[in-house]
Amino acid sequence: MPIDYYIYLSVILFSIGVTGVLTRRNAIIVFMCIELMLNAVNLLLVAFSKMHHARAAVSDAATSIGTDGQLFVFFIMVVAAAEVSVGLAIIVMMYRNVHNVDINFLNRLKN
Partner 1 sequence: MSLAPYIPLLPLAGFLINGIFRKQLSKTLTGIIGSGTILIAFALSVMVFNDVSAGNTGDIVLFDFISVADLHIPFAFKIDQLTSIFLLIITGVGFLIHVYSTSYMHEESNDHFARYFAYLNLFVFSMLLLVMGANYVIMFIGWEGVGLCSYLLIGYWFGNTAYNNAAKKAFIMNRIGDLGFLVAVFWMMQTFGAVGFDEIFAQLPGEASTATLTGITLCLFVGAMGKSAQIPLYTWLPDAMAGPTPVSALIHAATMVTAGIYMIARSNLMYALAPTTMMVVAIIGLSTAIFAGTIALKQYDIKKVLAYSTVSQLGYMFLGLGVGAFTGAVFHVMTHAFFKALLFLGAGSIIHAMHHQQDMRQYGGLRKYMPITHITMLLACLAIAGIPPFSGFFSKDEILVAAYAANPVYYYVGLVGALLTAFYMFRLYGMTFLGNFRGDTHHVPHESPAAMTVPLIILAILSVAGGLIGIPELFAENGHKLQQFLAPVFAKGEQQIAQHAHPSHSTEWMMIAVSVTLILLVIIFAINKYRKYQHTKDANTGFASVLENKWYVDELYDAVIVKPLIALGNLFNRMDTGVVDKLVNGVGRAVQYGSRQMRLVQSGNVGNYVLLMVIAIILLIRLVFYS
Partner 2 sequence: MSTTEIIFWFLSALAIFSAIMVITRKNPVFSVLYLIVTFFAISGHYILMNAQFLAIVNIIVYAGAIMVLFLFVLMLMNLNKEGEPRKNRYLLWSGVIAGGMLMIVIIAALQTSKPEIVDSFSKGDIGLIQNLGMALFKEYVVPFEISSILFLSAMVGAVVIGKK
Q: State which residue, 20 or 57, has the beta carbon closest to partner 1.
A: 20
Kindly give, in sequence order, each residue whose CB lies less than 8 Å from that of residue 13, ignoring residues fewer than 6 positions away: 36, 37, 39, 40, 43
Dihedral of alpha carbons 32, 34, 35, 36, sign = positive
| Cβ 31 vs Cβ 87: under 8 Å | yes
Question: x-or-dash pattern for partner 2, window 48-67, by CB under 8 A?
Answer: -xxx-xxx-x---x--xxxx
Q: State which residue, 32 or 56, has the beta carbon closest to partner 1.
A: 32
Question: x-or-dash pattern for partner 1, window 80-109, by CB under 8 A?
Answer: -----------------------xx-xxxx
